[in-house]
Amino acid sequence: MTVEADFIELEEGGERIMRFSGRLTIARIGDVPQRLSELPYSPARIDISNVERVDTVGAWVVHKLARDHGAQIVGASDHADRLLRQVSIADDPAKSFDEDEGRLHRIIARIGASTLEALSGLKGLLAFFGGLLIATASVIRHPGRMRFNAVVQRFETVGVSALGIIGLMSFLIGIVIAQQGAVQLRQFGAEVFTINLIGRITTRELGVLMTAIMVAGRSGSAFAAQIGSMKLAEEVDAMRTIGVPPMQALVLPRVLATTLLMPLLGFYSTFLMIVGGGLLCWIGLGIPPETFILRLREVVPMTDLWVGLIKAPVFGMIIGLTGCYQGMQVRGNNEEVGNRTTTAVVQAIFLVIVLDAFFAVFFSSVGWG
């Protein structure tokens, strides 16, 4: 049998049959594709039982012939049958769609995927919070399991080391609030009410909120990176193997430290915001410190301070919980540590702002507005 690819035309039982022979390969196929394109009729069956060898090019020629003429392929060996199935799958054209319709579809798909991802993350965070409550109950029943040294170390990381940056930020924000408020109130000859603005907005909202954002970016990211690195090094799995619960050893000290220190850091931030605002009022508006302090005592109720201090530990718990949760989700490689660290910061800040809005509505409804 010749090795060159060829075909003959037969007629059996009123059906036109095309029978291939030789080698249907790229080196031996010759002018067969051109001759097939000039066929004046449509074959009913394509017989490749006499084909010695077939490659992808030959399988494509046979598949295209069968597709264009609606013919049936018979006599294929196992190897040829596999190639024909593969080229048939590859020949499935992509579905065309209108560009505007496709853009809308992609937008909706992304919104849906982002919503599902957010709900899945919230579900995981709630489950993680439940695990933390169980670990806390276990430590309360067995106080000897509490790692006080780890908590004290986190005190230094979250609190003492953050005093400088939080203090500078708060002092400058106080100056900005006073300056911008004075510029606007000067139009009505009411610069003295700048003190009201500084006192109420810092004690009630900005002191604790800006501190929470700073702690989320500084400590929450550190928690995620530390625990994520331990996950990659399989240290967390090793702790489980030797009987040390990671929730008690890693998560509880960090969450406890942020929960306890946030009220102190929030009060510290509020104080320095007021100092910064008072300094600008003294220099820019000519309001002496004595008058500033007396005016503050008149216009700022104690409930504003309590509102800030009540929100602070909740914010701290959310920041610590989110950072540890994202660190525990690290899988695979070092790039995942960076991704989870970024997610921890974004998620913590988002939840803090959402809770702050909830607290604003709640305290207003109970008469602390």
> What DSSP string describes 110-179?
HHHHHHHHHHHHHHHHHHHHHHHHHHHHHHHH-GGG--HHHHHHHHHHHTGGGHHHHHHHHHHHHHHHHH
What gap in Å lies between CA 76 and CA 93, rounded to an integer?
A: 24
Q: For the chain, which residues make up each domain, given as ranges?
A: 6-90, 121-365
Which has the closest alpha carbon to 277: 192, 185, 168, 171? 171
Distance of CA 167 to the CA centre of its chain: 30
C-alpha triplet 111, 328, 145: angle, nearest 5°: 145
Q: Name the amino acid, one letter, at 57.
A: V
Residues of the chain short of pLDDT 70, as ranges, are 1-2, 92-102, 369
What pLDDT score was predicted for residue 31?
Answer: 84
What pLDDT score was predicted for residue 273?
Answer: 95
What pLDDT score was predicted for residue 1?
Answer: 47
Q: What are phi and psi of 7, to 5 degrees?
A: -150, 155
Query: What DSSP designation does 367 have?
Result: T
What pLDDT score was predicted for residue 123?
Answer: 92
CATH architecture of the region 6-90:
2-Layer Sandwich (3.30)
What pLDDT score was predicted for residue 226?
Answer: 93
Q: Is 42 left (phi over 0), alpha (psi -120 to 50) or beta?
A: beta
The percent of residues in the chain predicted with pLDDT above 90, rounded, is 50
What pLDDT score was predicted for residue 51?
Answer: 87
For the question of whether the overall pTM of this predicted structure is more than 0.85, the answer is: no
Query: What DSSP designation does 219 have?
Result: I
What pLDDT score was predicted for residue 221?
Answer: 94
